[in-house]
Structure 1
Amino acid sequence: MPYEPRSYRSLYTQKDLIHFRVLVEETDLDIAVRKERYDLKLEKLIYSLVQEERELLKDYIKKDPLFLSSLEPYEPFLNAPPSAFEMSKAARLAGVGPMAAVAGYFSEIAGKKLATYSSEVIVENGGDIWLKLKKTRLVGIFAGSSPFSNRIALQINPNLTPLGICTSSGKVGHSLSFGKADAMVILANSATLADAVATAACNRVKSEQDLEKAVNFALEIPGVIGALCILGDKMAAKGNIKIVPI
């Protein structure tokens, strides 16, 4: 599966917010906060947070390698770090392995930490987003070669946030997927959950006939409030979700 450079980030920069990047190994966060709340210390804070959480998770995986490789729900050891329990909990609801939730988890912990400093926060990690808003904003949809790609967006109202918005694709990116969707987008009360459900729902899409089934599957999971699935020039969407052209 080809890796898609994250050039899409420049398309959706919020002009009234300050954006900065935190990169720790494979965790690559694009972060936006209110301009008056930005301080270089925030970058260092999130870098340290991500680094510490990654080290705890990596050390745990050395003791429990099945946590890394399992493609089905998996119960971590009792001495596992909080990240393992949070990822496993979300993965259990979705019916996938715990690593399906890792990108959403790191978006979420960074976002929650920054929300104590800024009233508006957007954290994006390879298409997996945690956000808290004070005004209505648009979240663009990237769907590879689909004609919908970069032409539609989700309109997110502040009253829906904090919110996780995560995307899985069978054609774009480097994450493991058994589906063929150009984009499976999930809105949930947790980015960790949204990430796991996006993977599970995307896995169910083999043809255009599966779009509605995948969306319905996602919405049956507690905590999921909206779902959108794109394959070629076909799209299905349901739940508390508003799509607008861009």
Structure 2
Amino acid sequence: MKRGLRRKKTPDAYRERVYRRVAGSGLVSTFVRMVETDLHILASCPVEDPALLLVTETRRQLEHYIADHPLFLESLIPLPDDPQAPPLIREMLLAGRQAGVGPMAAVAGVVAEAVGRGLLARDDVAEVIVENGGDIFLARQVASVVSVYAGESPLSGRVGLRIAAQRMPLGVCCSSGAIGHSLSLGQADAVVVTAPSTALADAAATRLGNEATGRRPVERALEVARGIKGISGVLVIVGEQLGAWGDIELVKP
């Protein structure tokens, strides 16, 4: 949960899911909703039934582990590894330690990737995009452009990330102190992180969103980003300011 301290958020824009606008993908769109989970899936064929089964199993693992380990849900700081936990849980724990945040900061990303990889394991699915609250697991055979929604920033919708086909599968995750309903302690309109692990991209976006504070929030967030092992690239937008680091190609959407 990311809450902004700089100004009131824009819940209407968030509820309308303006960041879900997709153009020219050539893929079939599917929506899967279960309790808090709300996925927009684009795949090479209809996938509603198998995606629903994957979401059900993913949530079952998370809910069972949380029931036995309530600190996993509540902690805002990294937790140690649990060798007895399911792989999904251990991935969240690892992402939290790498990014310096609690494991639940990785939940949207880990769910997106679990569903996406589960669908790719099917013979009839060659390409898939799974978006979960602005966090994306991207697996395409052609280059793709992800447009960045940054709330009230004048740069919102005017900057995109071009992802080359050879870099996929890839996680592309966003945190904001201005939009959404999860906790962010920073000033950023958008912090976007790319990483081979979508769980890590999600956790790192949360950490860097928290770090985007002070007189030079963009520079501060990018400085911290350089110390997070495993992430590929970072984009930070605060008002009219923009900064990027790492293997990232900015384009006009």
Q: TM-score range by the shorter chain?
A: over 0.9
1:114 to 84, 97, 119: 119
C-alpha root-mean-square deviation of aligned residues, in Å? 1.6
Q: Pick from 5, 23, 47: which aligns with 2:15?
A: 5
- Tell me what 1:64 maps to: 69
Q: Which has the higher contact order (CA 8 A, sep 6+)?
A: 2
| Pairing of 1:141-152 with structure 2 (within 5 A) | 141-152=148-159
Structure 1 contact 155–243 (Cα < 8 Å) conserved: yes
Per the alignment, residue 245 of structure 1 pairs with: 252
Alignment of 1:56-95 (within 5 A): 56-75=61-80, 77-95=82-100
Q: Secondary structure at the match of 2:192?
A: strand
2:59 pairs with 1:54: yes
Q: Answer with 129-138 or 51-60: which moved more.
A: 51-60
1:186 is paired with a residue whose SS is: strand
Structural mapping, 1:10-29, within 5 Å = 10-29=20-39
Which amino acid in the other structure matches residue 17 of structure 2? Answer: S
Q: Counterpart in 2 of 1:169? A: 176
Distance 2:175 2:215 in 1: 16
CA–CA distance in structure 2, aligned partners of residues 208 and 240 of structure 1: 26
* Paired residue type of 2:103: P
Please give the TM-score of this superposition, normalised by the length of structure 2: 0.90
Give the Cα–Cα distance (whole angstroms) in 1 for the partners of residues 197 and 104 of structure 2: 15
Deviation at 1:162, TM superposition (A): 0.8
Segments of 5+ residues of structure 1 without an aligned counterpart are none
- Which has the larger displacement, 71-80 or 166-175? 71-80
Equivalent pairs counted in the alignment come to: 241
Query: What percentage of aligned pairs have identical amino acids?
Result: 42
The 8 Å contact of residues 79 and 93 in structure 2, kept in 1 or not, is answered as yes
Change (3 A) 1:52 1:145: same
Q: Distance in 2 between matches of 1:240 and 1:76?
A: 29
The answer to whether residue 203 in structure 2 is matched with residue 196 in structure 1 is yes
Q: 1:146 to 1:60 in 2, by over 3 A?
A: same
SS in structure 1 opposite 2:101? coil
1:177–1:10 Cα change, 3 Å: closer
Structure 1 length-normalised TM = 0.92
Tell me which residue corresponds to 1:131: 138
AA matched with 2:97: R
User: What amino acid maps onto 1:28 in structure 2?
Assistant: D
- Secondary structure in 2 aligned to 1:12? coil
**Selected match of 2:243 from 236, 239, 243:** 236
Q: Aligned residue for 1:160? A: 167
**Residue 44 of structure 1 is aligned with which of 49, 56, 73?**
49
